[in-house]
Amino acid sequence: MKTSARILAVLATALTLLATTGCNKLQARDQLNKGVQSYKSNRYEEAIDHFQKAVSLDPNLIVAHMYLATAFAQQYIPGVDAEDNNRFAQQAIEQYKRVIDSNTGKDQQINSTKGIAYLYLQMKKFDDAKNYYRKAAEMDPNDPEVYYSIGVIDWTQSYQPRMEERAKLGLKPEEPLKDKKVCASLKEKSGSVIPDGIETLNKALQLRPDYDDAMAYMNLMYREKADLECDDPAARAADLKTADQWVDKTLEVKKAKAAKQPGATGITMDQPK
């Protein structure tokens, strides 16, 4: 009798736990649905509250983690280096990492990886951003946009220090960088990112031959390369010629695309930032 009583007690406890677990999952789904409605209405703080309740009730509800990450990311304002603002980005990254660490589908893994990369890019943590874009490329090697993003970061890492040094020297835009000491220093800082940028942009163009944004950055990358050819005027001239060729290719592609648009009257070439 005592043994039977113990078995009945264990079964009762198990049934209670199952019922509680099932109830939590239903409540989590309810919070998820409410969060989605708030998110679609651009009420992000309210959406975050619902999504947080959902993952608390059911930590394995991966779609809730994904929505929570996206809602945090929406609250982040790029370029504002404030503690509260950066916390939104970090919270989004944490949730994206939860998704990556789960056994969810490949698409969600890739989107989370790219989400982290984009946030690091906006936070100007360029090496971290490139690391995650490379991870995304490993998961989906046929996505031209991840290679393009790496190329943009490479250009940024070369362009910013170079322009700072040129400003210190008081050089005009058309003047070459003749200070060999400064040039050597820039080569040490940017020597690896320029060829990497050209290589990754080439990959993007192999996958999407009419990728005009990638062409525009190829032009810019070759201008970076040209300015560091301090002791080789012929190499500088060759790089500038290649850069001009990429400008021509970019314009050709933009014109071709514009011609396919009904009612198009002209195009405007945006300068990449």
216 vs 268 pLDDT, higher one: 216
> Which helix (DSSP H) or strand (DSSP E) does residue 47 occupy?
helix 44-57
**Alpha-carbon dihedral 191, 193, 198, 202, rounded to 10 degrees:** 150
How much is the pLDDT for 268?
43
* 198 touches 222 (CB < 8 A): yes
Give the pLDDT confidence of 170-187 residue by residue, as tens digits. 999 888 998 989 999 999
Nearest-angstrom CA–CA distance, 106 and 142: 14
How much is the pLDDT for 15?
43
Q: What is this structure's pTM?
A: 0.83
Nearest to 152 by CA among 227, 111, 211: 211
Nearest-angstrom CA–CA distance, 151 and 138: 16
Query: Does position 269 have pLDDT exceeding 60, yes or no?
Result: no
Provide the residue type at 196 as one letter.
D
The full length of the chain comes to 273
Residue whose structure tokens are 């990429």: 246
Neighbours of 268 (CB within 10 A): 6
Give the pLDDT confidence of 223-254 residue by residue, as tens digits. 999 999 988 999 999 999 999 999 999 999 99
* 183 touches 191 (CB < 8 A): no
Residues 6+ apart with CB under 8 A from 123: 78, 86, 89
* 103 touches 123 (CB < 8 A): no
Query: Does position 266 have pLDDT exceeding 70, yes or no?
Result: no
Radius of gyration of the chain (CA): 26
Query: Does position 19 have pLDDT exceeding 70, yes or no?
Result: no
